[in-house]
Amino acid sequence: MLPIARWLMRGTPYAAGGAAVAAVVPWLFWLSAAIAALVTLRRGLSPALPVIVAAAVPAGWWWTRGDAIPLASVLLVTLMALVLRERLRWSETLIAGALAGTAMIQLGIFVPLGGTGPLLEQLRQGSVEVDALLSELTRQGYDPEALATLLIGGVTGLVVMLASVACLALARSWQAGLYNPGGFREEFHALRLSGRELALLVGLGVAGTVLGLPGLAMLTWVPLLVAGIALVHGFIGAKGMNGLWLIAFYLLLITTWPMILIVLLAAFLDVFADFRGRLASRSD
């Protein structure tokens, strides 16, 4: 996709047009967000505003149609691109993204415009089992509509956060490919949380649980997960292992919960053990 990125960076009209077209096409919102992030990373906020607006306007139209994911992704990716451009630290960028994603969840922007009531009513009418389950929840004192709102908002917010991280990584890889070959690989392989950042994430997760902010408790582990993924990439790269190992790793990560827990634990321990630093010192 590097030739596409090179064409987009020929000028603002190219990038804005590409971002707008991608935002209009269903399921290409990720490309639109990546284009906006690329221009933001390379040129800064002010020069990138026409591209961001070109991506946001069609995405806003999708929002009026009941799909908030495209617009939320464009805004979240742009925010993280700004932080990464200014701070040059992926860990801080991911924490900022998690906080912004939490705000989106708590504001309820991922909840259907008419609320979850009509959806639950359709489910009741379409399935006797669902109707019995919802009735049982009501009998036990739970509010099915509140639970549905929490579930839909939380899961959608998590998907947007993960998609936004992937879009930002794609934009950063484009930037490196065009202007700094090999730079993204080196940068991503070095991604590691500091002790303070880990303590902040743990504190935010606890605060989210105690204060009843499920979005905060749900998204604070995403930076740790990405750091764990970077650890695996760095280890495989340092060892010169075949790329098939990465394919196997992602298959396990997508399909099995234990692998996610292992990656989170590895990233947690890496804060204190610095596995890549130890490996590099042994290689020397």
3-class DSSP state for residue 67?
coil
Residues 34-42 have a mean pLDDT of 97
Closest to 227 in 3D by CA, of 269, 283, 172 = 269
Average pLDDT, the chain: 90
Residue numbers of the domain that contains 61? 1-112+157-180
Burial of 134 (0-12, 13-18, 19+ CB in 10 A): buried
Instruction: Say whether both 4 and 95 belong to one domain.
Output: yes
The secondary structure of 20-88, three-state, reads HHHHHCCCCHHHHHHHHHHHHHHHCHHHHHHHHHHHHHHHHHHHHCCCCHHHHHHHHHHHHHHHHHHHC
The pLDDT of residue 137: 65
Same domain assignment for residues 167 and 197: no
3-state helix, strand, coil in the chain (%, to 5): 85, 0, 15
Task: Let me know whether 87 and 228 are in one domain.
Answer: no
Among 22-31, 127-136, 158-167, 256-265, where is mean pLDDT lowest?
Answer: 127-136
Which residue did the predictor score with more confidence, 257 or 115? 257
> Do 168 and 231 have their domain in common?
no
CB 274 within 8 A of CB 192: yes
The answer to whether 172 touches 41, Cβ cutoff 8 Å, is yes
CB 276 within 8 Å of CB 192: yes
pLDDT of residue 116: 67
Instruction: For residues 176 and 221, state if they share a domain.
Output: no
Give CA–CA dist 153/136, Å, rounded.
23
Give the pLDDT confidence score for residue 169 in this predicted structure. 97
Model confidence, pTM: 0.92
- In a domain, residue 121? The reply is no
The arithmetic mean of pLDDT across residues 268-273, rounded, is 94
Using alpha carbons, list the distances in angstroms from residue 263 to 174, 221, 233: 26, 11, 12
- Dihedral angle computed from the Cα positions of residues 26, 5, 1 and 251, in that order, rounded to the nearest 10 degrees: -70
Query: What average pLDDT does this structure show over 123-127?
Result: 70
Which pLDDT band, with edges at 50, 70 and 90, does 132 fall under?
A: confident
Asked if 175 and 203 sit in the same domain, the reply is no
Confidence of residue 117 (pLDDT cuts 50, 70, 90): low
In-domain check, residue 117:
no
Residue found under tokens 């639970």 = 147
**pLDDT score at 203:** 95
Are residues 163 and 239 located together in one domain of the fold?
Answer: no
The per-residue pLDDT for 283 is: 63
Q: What pLDDT shows up at residue 115?
A: 65
52, part of any domain: yes
Number of domains composing the chain: 2
Q: Is residue 172 domain-shared with residue 226, that is, in the same domain? A: no
| Residue 253 · residue 259 · CB < 8 Å | yes
